[in-house]
């Protein structure tokens, strides 16, 4: 079979109900799942659009080291002579040392509030997590919630991705920091290759397919 003009094929497909259904299958069977898998892979590797080289010395840039109220992370409780931060959000309990945990008077609340020196980065280190590469997968809940949907118009199609299941705000916030809900150039090329293979396979199933250009 002669290789089809794929742009022309896609144009034809998106102009008919049958063709749009075929594109939906393409996204469901190939493109959508592959897109989510590629996003998970580059996030786990610490590869972000504003820092595409995960091996450089900016790979942990962005983990906040600013002192922050411990209640942002979890509940404070006494553990013998020391303090603990018990986090249901991250399913972990950490034990700051004396130098890392301080109290400050909150005028508005009219009470002392516990603070963790070193911020989120210190919290991850206390939890035994690496901070050398940012991967956004402390619990996996946000990344496991990433989903996709097809958007089809005449002449083209695209895949929209985002978090679901209550993780929308966190995904929006972290994406603004690092821009991870994207595909890099090499990943886009892989998507295109797989899409072309899929379309050719479907055309092969139908026999000869002539496209006038």
Domain check: are 72 and 110 in the same one? yes
The CA angle 74-75-81, to the nearest 5 degrees, is 120
pLDDT digits (tens, 9 = 90+) for 89-123: 888 999 998 888 888 888 888 888 889 999 989 99
Domain check: are 117 and 163 in the same one? no
The pTM score is 0.72
75/84 Cα distance (integer angstroms): 8
The set of residues, in sequence order, having a beta carbon less than 8 Å from that of 7 and lying 6+ positions away, is none
Domain check: are 46 and 97 in the same one? no
pLDDT, residue 1, reads 41
18 domain-assigned: yes
The set of residues, in sequence order, having a beta carbon less than 8 Å from that of 193 and lying 6+ positions away, is none
- Note down the domain range covering 14: 6-55+138-206
User: 21 to each of 7, 8, 31, 147, 163, how far by Cα in Å?
Assistant: 17, 17, 14, 19, 24
177 domain-assigned: yes
Tokens at 165, concatenated: 């299941």
Strands (E), 7-144: 68-69, 75-79, 82-87, 92-94, 101-106, 111-116
The set of residues, in sequence order, having a beta carbon less than 8 Å from that of 136 and lying 6+ positions away, is 43, 142, 143, 174, 178, 180
63 domain-assigned: no
The number of domains in the chain is: 2
User: 178 to each of 22, 47, 58, 66, how far by Cα in Å?
Assistant: 34, 9, 12, 18
Domain check: are 119 and 16 in the same one? no
Query: What tens-digit pLDDT sequence spans the chain (213 residues)?
Result: 445 566 777 777 777 777 777 777 777 778 888 999 999 999 988 889 876 655 554 555 678 888 989 888 899 888 777 788 999 888 899 999 888 888 888 888 888 888 999 998 999 999 998 888 888 888 889 999 999 888 777 666 778 899 999 999 989 988 988 899 999 999 999 988 888 787 777 666 655 555 555
Please give the radius of gyration of the chain, using alpha carbons only, rounded to the nearest integer.
24
In degrees and rounded to multiples of 5, residue 16 shows phi and psi of -130, 155
């Amino acid at each position: 079979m002669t290789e089809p003009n794929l742009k022309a094929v896609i144009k034809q497909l998106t102009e008919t109900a049958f063709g749009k259904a075929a594109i939906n299958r393409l996204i469901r069977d190939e493109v959508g799942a592959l897109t989510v898998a590629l996003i998970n892979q580059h996030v786990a590797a610490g590869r972000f659009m504003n820092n595409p080289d995960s091996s450089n010395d900016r790979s942990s840039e962005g983990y906040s080291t600013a002192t922050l109220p411990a209640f942002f992370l979890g509940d404070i409780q006494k553990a013998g002579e020391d303090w603990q931060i018990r986090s249901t959000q991250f399913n972990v309990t950490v034990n700051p040392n004396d130098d890392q945990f301080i109290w400050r008077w909150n005028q508005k609340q009219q009470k002392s509030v516990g603070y963790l020196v070193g911020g989120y980065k210190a919290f991850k280190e206390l939890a035994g997590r690496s901070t050398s590469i940012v991967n956004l997968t402390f619990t996996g809940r946000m990344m496991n919630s990433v989903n996709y949907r097809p958007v089809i118009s005449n002449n083209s199609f695209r895949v929209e991705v985002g978090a679901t299941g209550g993780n929308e705000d966190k995904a929006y916030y972290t994406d603004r920091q690092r821009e991870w809900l994207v595909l890099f150039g090499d990943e886009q090329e892989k998507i295109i290759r797989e899409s072309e293979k899929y379309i050719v396979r479907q055309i092969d199933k139908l026999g000869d397919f002539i496209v006038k250009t």
